[in-house]
Structure 1
Amino acid sequence: MQMERHFRIKDHLEKIHICWNDQVKEPHPSTWFDSQKRPDVITTTEWDATIIWEGTYKRQILEKYYKRLNITIGLVVYAPAKLANRYLKQFLQSAEKHFMVGYHVIFYLLIDDKINTQSLSLKLGPLRTFKACNIYKEKEMDIDHFTLMSNLNAYVIDAIQFEVNYVFIMAVNQIFKSDFGVETLGRSIAQLHSWWYFQNTKHFPYERRKNAASFIPYGEGDFYYHSAIWGGTPHEVLNFTKEYQRGFYLDNSSKLNSEYEKYLNKYFFENKPTKLLSPEYNWDPAFKTPPQIKQVKIAWQPENS
């Protein structure tokens, strides 16, 4: 009976906090966003979501709005030992300098228990903290993206949704180069892929096997999204992790393997993101920088670099 009561209370609290998180309304784009400032790029989708490019937003207006609400923003980074040793310290140092400066921020580090966080020598500002979250692996499912999604789902349910209004999930092999601010906040946030944004839609590497859960037919699809950055409200993040797990288990039972990024693209194909980040927010320096890229916010580092 005590167990049943515990889960009834927890379920009730989850509903309260989901409602609370989703009550943070975004200011209308007409007050802070000007699509005409960047006629050289796509700034609005067919479903009226904004695409954030340098020059299109007025951050001062957004700062005034969000400061009044006293919001907290989470940043989840998945860093198993093989990646943490190479990238985590640099990622966190650059995030401390450029990510949501002036706001309450919680860095959630999904790390192996053998990683010593004290070795990071990270000095955080007064509004910022980090929490080490041990990665739990299922022996029969030793696949990185499955481990990330199952851990993310568990930590959002148990803690994150009660602590933040918005949360970003980012790959660790990235470096913040300039301010990543509140212009990026939204209910459902997707990152345009720096390479595929400039390519023909018909060449997008969607999942094309009809029996796969992440299948997108030829001739359909809007953009190709990068799994290195995505997010939104905790409720929206939970929606994706649950949909991912459903698709993964279906594919696994059919002996179909698909990439995490393809599940993400299928999810955003069926559940349109409310805000898109331009390739400026995740640029690969291996590519020649075109004139459309005015200011690189984050630089991508290939894992085999």
Structure 2
Amino acid sequence: MASHAPWTECGMDCEVQSKHTFRKTDVLTMSPWLAPIIWNGSYDSAILNAQFNQRDVHVGITIFAIKKYTFFVKNFIETAENVFMIGHKVTYYVFTDRASDIPVMNLNEGRSMSILEVPSYPRWQDVSMRRMEMIRDFSHERFFREVDFLVCVDVDMRFNDEVGVEILSNLFGTLHPGMFGVQREGYTYERNPESEAYIPANEGDFYYAGGFFGGSIEEVYNLTNFCHNAMMKDKAKNIEALWHDESYLNKYLLLHKPTKILSPEYLWDDDFGIPDFLKRRRFLAVRKNHNEMRNRR
């Protein structure tokens, strides 16, 4: 794929072509391999909700509340209950080393929370990377029996606007807000040729965020299995990829193209400002002291 900076601001938003068909004119809405890029106005939620209700879809969402990150669980779930997959069955899978710190939550009908006790690790980098192993193992052991799709996100976030079935697909990734509009050579891929996450400067499609990905259970298993095995190979060589699990995620999504791509509406940090192309900020970073939260016990 040629070097690209495909996002332009032309002062236009959505043009309605018919009652149920939309065309975005200010941003890229389709990848070169014909995977849709999901933006506000690019889909009809009523049609999609009807389709997924007919299938009686059950969605699982994973978060990791390790050490002091249990602090974020209450706000995460409260905001999700207002706007995440409304009208559909949802299970929150909370991975934690402090089960007693997870609050009891009042959830809407058809929604549940499952607390999964897992070990912690001394370094936050290891906590981050081991997420892939844990999601893989639980996908194999139980998720495939309980849910149809898995959404894997960071816990230190809050839902700010609707996130629904428009995101669901066999395999989806989310465009990283910090890399949005950057030329391909500027993507912060792993550049060490000895690493299993290595991507040369002349390769790559998009830069995907590690904080929002998912798909069918089978595809999430394949992704997390690849990432974990690649990390273990690098660890044996005393190599640690630049952005840890996110680096391996980007390698996997280069080799195995996602069937749907989420725009930065679905993962935003207000520290980047609010640009004109961003009509909705659906999932927002919670402001915090990263070093304090990562290193406190």
Q: Note if contact 1:137-1:147 (Cα within 8 Å) is conserved in structure 2.
A: no
Match of 2:249 in 1: 264
**Unaligned 5+ runs, structure 1:** 1-30
Match of 1:15 in 2: none
RMSD of aligned alpha carbons: 2.1
Q: Note if contact 2:49-2:165 (Cα within 8 Å) is conserved in structure 1.
A: yes
Taking structure 1 as the reference length, the TM-score comes to 0.84
- C-alpha distance in 1, partners of 2:262/2:20? 13
For the pair 1:82 / 2:68, whether they are aligned, the reply is yes
Match of 2:143 in 1: 160
- C-alpha distance in 2, partners of 1:33/1:300? 32
More helix by share: 1
Taking structure 2 as the reference length, the TM-score comes to 0.86
Figure out how many residues of one structure are paired with residues of the other and give that number.
271
Match of 2:213 in 1: 230
Q: Note if contact 1:33-1:56 (Cα within 8 Å) is conserved in structure 2.
A: no
Aligned pairs for 1:70-219 within 5 A: 70-85=56-71, 87-117=72-102, 120-137=103-120, 143-219=126-202
Indicate which of 283, 286, 289 corresponds to 1:301.
286
Percent of aligned pairs sharing the same letter? 28
Change (3 A) 1:139 1:303: closer
Give CA-to-partner distance per residue, 1:224-245, whole Å, 9 cap, x none: 0001100000101110111112
Match of 1:62 in 2: 48
Q: Note if contact 2:267-2:283 (Cα within 8 Å) is conserved in structure 1.
A: yes
Give CA-to-partner distance per residue, 1:214-269, whole Å, 9 cap, x none: 00001110110001100000101110111112211111111101111000000000
Give the deviation of 1:96 after TM superposition: 1.1
**Unaligned 5+ runs, structure 2:** 1-17, 291-297
Runs of 4+ displaced beyond 4 Å: 31-34, 137-142
Change (3 A) 1:131 1:160: same
Change (3 A) 1:201 1:57: same
Give the deviation of 1:32 after TM superposition: 10
2:46 aligns to what SS in structure 1? helix
What is the letter of the counterpart of residue 194 of structure 2?
Answer: N
Give the deviation of 1:137 after TM superposition: 4.9
Q: Note if contact 2:174-2:212 (Cα within 8 Å) is conserved in structure 1.
A: yes
- C-alpha distance in 1, partners of 2:77/2:64? 12
Match of 1:27 in 2: none
1:56 aligns to what SS in structure 2? coil
What is the letter of the counterpart of residue 83 of structure 1?
Answer: Y
Indicate which of 6, 28, 34 corresponds to 1:48.
34
Indicate which of 38, 43, 49 corresponds to 2:24.
38
Give the deviation of 1:121 after TM superposition: 4.1
Change (3 A) 1:32 1:246: farther
